[in-house]
Amino acid sequence: MARRHKPNTPPAKQRFSGAESHKPNTPPPAATKKQFTAAERSALYARREAANVLRTVLRGDAERRAVASIKSIVFSPSVRNKRATFALVCETLKHLSVIKDVLEIANVLNSKWKRQEPLVYIICYDILFGKDTPSIGDAEKFLMRRKDALLSGLATLLVRKKVKSVEQLMGVSQLNGHLKPRYVRVNTLKMDVDSAVQELEKHYTVQKDETVPDLLVLPPGSDLHAHRLVANGRIFLQGKASSMVAAALQPEAGWEVLDACSAPGNKTIHLAALMEGQGKIIACELNEERVKRLEDTIKLSGASNIEVCHGDFLGLNPKDSSFAKVRAILLDPSCSGSGTITDRLDHLLPSHAADNMNYDTMRLHKLAGFQKKALAHALSFPQVERVVYSTCSIHQIENEDVVSSVLPLASSLGFKLATPFPQWQRRGLPVFSGSEHLLRMDPVEDKEGFFIALFVKTDKLDNQKSSELPKRECRGRREERRTMQLHPYLCPKMFRAWSNMLHRRRRRLALSTSSED
């Protein structure tokens, strides 16, 4: 390998002559370089992080294959300055259509900066609408030199649209007044609910949720992303609707359960907690990037009974011996996300503009087709007794229509619709007989739209083998087991009916025995 060597050079005084030779104390150029403040460096780094997030979000939106929601991407471990990054991404997305129009009118971008559009959008937001004027960074300097052209472009746009302010220009696209409580689910694998309440009450007002036992309710805007209980996996920031899904399935300790579309994993680890860390959960996920996130969630939760399956749920063979003991399936498939657009901030994305209505209709039909296949596939596993189907959608085509389409198959396999959370008031749309068993959450009343359907196998009990006990005693035992499995939480009317029948039968048996004596 060739060696690098320095040529013989004369001393500094010999290299310079004339006016420069009498300035021996002049510092080198590096010494005069401006020192940036900590605030400037932080803002510079936040803009770069925001640009990376924005690039991921816009690419996923354009391809309709989002890796995760905006919040999930921003609050991933790889993003350090989460609060500043989140604010920049959200505000830039809110103003994105305006920023694009201004850049087109001003015509200030060359080919170099057109290749870095997400960063340009972030900086333009700061220049046009932000409180802080960017002062360092090559892209910032390039755009600041063209600030007058950008402001002129904004003024031209206001005239073209015949409005007087940016607020009027943006119309009512921003959703204001959406005050939703902060929900926190306690990871009972690591911490009990009362201890979590005691710890959180040091800084927040905390209430226990009336529907989900391990869910806590905090005031809107409570920021716990940096809280140590979140960092160590003792609590998870999980919405109420999402927390209701695993609770509706009601897996028992020791069961084998299949989570069909598992990532990012909040419902999966909730299942593990409900099963007290016992039994086995098969967590199926197709997307490789989401598998990594699923594994991180599982590791943080401390759950040891979860087996990750990187593959397509529809590709699993229900008759394979690997699934012979699976007794419950949680199916939360890909959906439009129309019930949680405010939480996910999807309403800020370009694909949710008014001119995408035709595409959305086609997308809904495509999603519904997949959902029907997935639900029919879940019901076909031979030993499965319970299946929960859930979406974060408000559309009938993804909810009631999907359930209705598989009811004949479900009935032939011995499944019937049960009623999860009987005390819940909002039920399915009355579009078919039995829709009163379905559960809906309303985007206005409940601050998010959600849908849950619970299928329970009813003919399994009829197929049990009888023992060699006398017929009367054997029948009583069977009825007792049947009554125990009809949990009052799921179907209270049926439970009361069987309880009364069992009570009358026992009474007749007692009278018959006493008369024989």
Q: Is there a binding annotation on residue 261?
A: yes
List the structure tokens of 233: 């996996």
Confidence of residue 431 (pLDDT cuts 50, 70, 90): very high
User: What is the DSSP annotation of 132-197?
Assistant: S---SSHHHHHHHTTHHHHHHHHHHHHHHHT-SSHHHHHTT-S------PEEEEE-TTT--HHHHH
Q: Is there a binding annotation on residue 101?
A: no
The residue-averaged pLDDT of 290-295 equals 94
Given a cut of 70, whether residue 302 has pLDDT beyond it is yes
Given a cut of 90, whether residue 458 has pLDDT beyond it is no
Percentage of the chain exceeding pLDDT 70: 74
Element (H, E) at 327: strand 326-331
Confidence of residue 497 (pLDDT cuts 50, 70, 90): low
Given a cut of 50, whether residue 7 has pLDDT beyond it is no
Indicate the range of 74-78, 145-149, 373-377, 483-487 predicted with least confidence. 483-487
Scanning the structure block, which residue is given the tokens 């999807």?
Answer: 346
Element (H, E) at 218: strand 215-218
Residue 510 confidence (pLDDT): 53
List the structure tokens of 44: 């510079």
Residues with catalytic roles: 392
Q: Is there a binding annotation on residue 263?
A: yes
Residue 196 confidence (pLDDT): 97
**Could you give the C-alpha distances from 290 to 28, 68, 72, in angstroms and in order?**
51, 8, 11
Mean pLDDT of the chain: 80
Scanning the structure block, which residue is given the tokens 């819940």?
Answer: 424
Confidence of residue 490 (pLDDT cuts 50, 70, 90): very low
Given a cut of 70, whether residue 427 has pLDDT beyond it is yes
- Residue 257 bridge partners (DSSP): 281, 328
Angle, helices 82-94/117-128, rounded to nearest 10 degrees: 90
Q: Is there a binding annotation on residue 265?
A: yes
Q: Is there a binding annotation on residue 90?
A: no
Q: Is there a binding annotation on residue 262?
A: yes
pLDDT digits over 316-330, tens only? Answer: 999 999 999 999 999
Give the integer Cα–Cα distance in Å for 313 and 259. 9
Residue 462 confidence (pLDDT): 46
Of 318 and 496, the structure prediction assigns the larger pLDDT to: 318
Residue 424 confidence (pLDDT): 96
The residue-averaged pLDDT of 184-202 equals 97
pLDDT digits over 146-185, tens only? Answer: 899 999 999 999 898 887 887 777 753 344 445 789 999 9
Cβ atoms 305, 272 nearer than 8 A: yes
pLDDT digits over 199-240, tens only? Answer: 999 999 999 999 999 999 999 888 898 899 999 999 999 999
| Pairing mode, strands 280-285 and 256-259 | parallel
Residue 45 confidence (pLDDT): 84
Given a cut of 60, whether residue 343 has pLDDT beyond it is no
Given a cut of 90, whether residue 61 has pLDDT beyond it is no
**Could you give the C-alpha distances from 200 to 60, 111, 219, 223, 226, in angstroms and in order?**
36, 52, 12, 12, 13
Residue 477 confidence (pLDDT): 46
Q: Quick count: other Cβ atoms within 10 Å of Cβ 7?
A: 4
Scanning the structure block, which residue is given the tokens 């009512």?
Answer: 172
Residue 6 confidence (pLDDT): 45
Residue 463 confidence (pLDDT): 45
Given a cut of 60, whether residue 399 has pLDDT beyond it is yes
User: What is the DSSP annotation of 224-253?
Assistant: -TT-HHHHTTSEEE--HHHHHHHHHH-PPT
Cis peptide before 318 (omega within 30 of 0): no
Of 423 and 501, the structure prediction assigns the larger pLDDT to: 423
Read off the pTM: 0.62
**Could you give the C-alpha distances from 158 to 104, 109, 151, 153, 198, in angstroms and in order?**
14, 21, 11, 9, 53
Closest CA to 273 of 236, 311, 310: 236
Give the integer Cα–Cα distance in Å for 52 and 128. 20
